[in-house]
A and B are shown apart, each in its own frame.
Chain A
Amino acid sequence: MNPQEPVIKTEKLTKRFGDFIAVNEITFEVYKGEIFGFLGANGAGKTTAMRMLCGLSTPSAGHATIAGFDIYRQTEQIKRNIGYMSQKFSLYEDLTVLENIRFFGGIYGLGDRQLKSKSQELIERLGLQAEAKKLVGELPLGWKQKLAFSVSVLHEPSIVFLDEPTGGVDPVTRRQFWALIYEAASNGITVFVTTHYMDEAEYCNRISIMVDGSIEALGTPKQLKSQMNETSMDGVFYQLARGAKRGE
C-alpha cells in the first residue's frame, strides 16, 4: 500500500434519483495495493456508489478518477482496468471451469497463448485440476467464489471490486478466500470490498462506513474502534448505522 499513489479518488461524488439522494457528496481515496472495506447498512447507497466507481452509472455531481481515468469521460478505459465480482453473478454455471476462465480472459483481451498459460496456472493454484472440465454449477459455492475471484483478477486489473463475495460461504473457505485477497493485494492490486461479516472488516487496511448516503466514518479498524470507544467492529457499525433513517 502506498499513500502516494491513489488509484481511486473521489470528490463530493453524488448520485440523485429524482428527489432522492442515493449517494451524497462522498470524498475518499484508496491507495495502490490497499484492501478497502466499503461498509454500510442495506440501502445506505453502497451499491449505487460502487456502480459509479465501475463506470456503470453516471454521477449527478462531483468528480472521481479510477486508475487515473475520469469517471465521466473515460468509462471504457476504467472498465478495462478493473475487475468485478459479486455474490449474485460471477460465473456461467452452464460452462465448465476452463470455459469460464477462457471466456472472461478473452473478454478482457488476453491473447491465446497468455490465456492458455494463465488458465493452467490458475487451475493449479486453486487445486482444481480434477474439476477443470466440470460445469461450474457442480462446484460447491466456496470453490465457485474462489474461482470467480481469481477470474476477476486474471487480466491483472489495478482495482478489483468485490460485492459481498463471501456471503453464505463456510468459515474455512471464507478464510481461504481472504488469503486470495491478500495475495492479490500484495501483487499491487487494490481490493475494494463490501461485506456484512464484521470480522472481515478487520481484515481490511482501511474501511469506510456509509450511513444514509454519506460516509460517516473512515479509517483503519483500529482508529475507528478507538474513535468510537468500542472493542469490536460490530460495536462501531452498530453505533453508526443504528441512527440510519433511510429504509426503515
Chain B
Amino acid sequence: MKQFITFVKKEFYHVLRDRRTLLILFGMPVAQILIFGFALTNEVKNAKIVVVDHAKDEASRHITERIAASQYFDIQEGLMDRDRMEAAFKEGQIKLAIVFPRNFRNDLLHQNHAQIQVVADASDPNNATTLTNYVSSIIQDYQMGLNENATLPYQIVPQIRMLYNPQLKGAPNFVPGVMALVLMLVSVMMTAISIVKEKETGTMEILLVSPFKPVWVILSKAVPYLFLSLINVLSILLMSVFVLQLPVMGSWLLLFAESTLFIITCLTLGIFISIKTQSQQVAMLISLMGMLLPTMMFSGFMFPIENMPVPLQIISNIVPAKWFYIIVKSIMIKGVGFEGIWKETLILCGITLFFFVVSLRSFKIRLE
C-alpha cells in the first residue's frame, strides 16, 4: 500500500510540474464552456429580415414599425412574395421572415385572435432561437398595449417555423457535450500518454524489474487522472451554473456518481491504448482519432443521431460518450433520477468492464 501511495504521489508531481499540460487540463474546460456559452448567448444585432405583409392594415403596420425601430433587425425592402423570400433564405441574404396574413386586424379585433407567421433560418439554431424570441417579445409588447383598454383580451399567436433544423438539435445541450469531450480528452489521452511516456523514457524497464506488481503501475497511473477529471467536472458545472445560468435540475450527487463511472470508462480506454502502443505520438493519435472524433460525431452532441443513416446509428451505440451524454442531459436538463437512466448506466458499466478485462489480459509483464 505504501508503494501505491508513493506512486500516486509521484504521478501528481509529474502532472503538477508540467505547466503546459496543467494549463491544458484546467484551461480547456473553461475555454470550451466560454466558447460554446458565448456562441449560444451571443447578442444578435441588425439581422437582415423581411416583412411580408398581406394584411397592409393598421395593426400590421404598427408591429412592423416596432420591429423596424428595434436595434436587432434590419428590414430588407422589396422581397414581398414567397418565391423571392425563399430564394433569399437559401442564399443566406435574410435570417428571418415575418408574414402577416390577410385580414390580420379584422381577425384580431373581431375574433380576438390572430396569427403571425415567423419563419427563421435554423441552420444556425442559436441565432434562429434568439431572433424568434425577439420577435415574439415585440409582438407580446404590442399585444399588451392593446389589452390595457379592452374588456376581452386580444391574442396574437406567432406561428414559429424553423427552417432546415426543426428540432433545434444541439443548441442548449452543449454543457453535457463539453463534459463528455473534456473527460474523454483528459482521461483517455492523458492516461495513455503518461503510461506510454514511461515506456519511452525507459523507466518502465526499471519498474518492471522491481517487486512492485506491474498491474499496480498502471492502476496507480489512473488515480491522479480520476481526481483531475472530477475537478474538471466540478469546474464545468460551476461555470455552467454561475456563468451561463444553466442550473442543474437533477441531483448533483447522482451527476457526480455517473461522471465518476464515465471517467473510469475513459481511464480503462486510456490504459488499453497505452498497452497497445509504444510511443507517445501513436498514443495521442489513437486517442484523438479513435476516441475524440467518435465522441464528437456519435455522441449526439454535434449531430443528431436520429438523422444519421442506420449503420452509423448502430455504430453510435458503442461510443461510451453517447450514453454519458444522454445521462448528463437527463439529469441536468430534465432533472431525471436514477430510475430514468439505469439502462444507460448499465451499458456504460458493461463497456468499462469489457475494456478492463481486455486490458488486463493484454497487459504484458515483460517488454514484448
* Direct touch of chains A and B (CB < 8 A): no
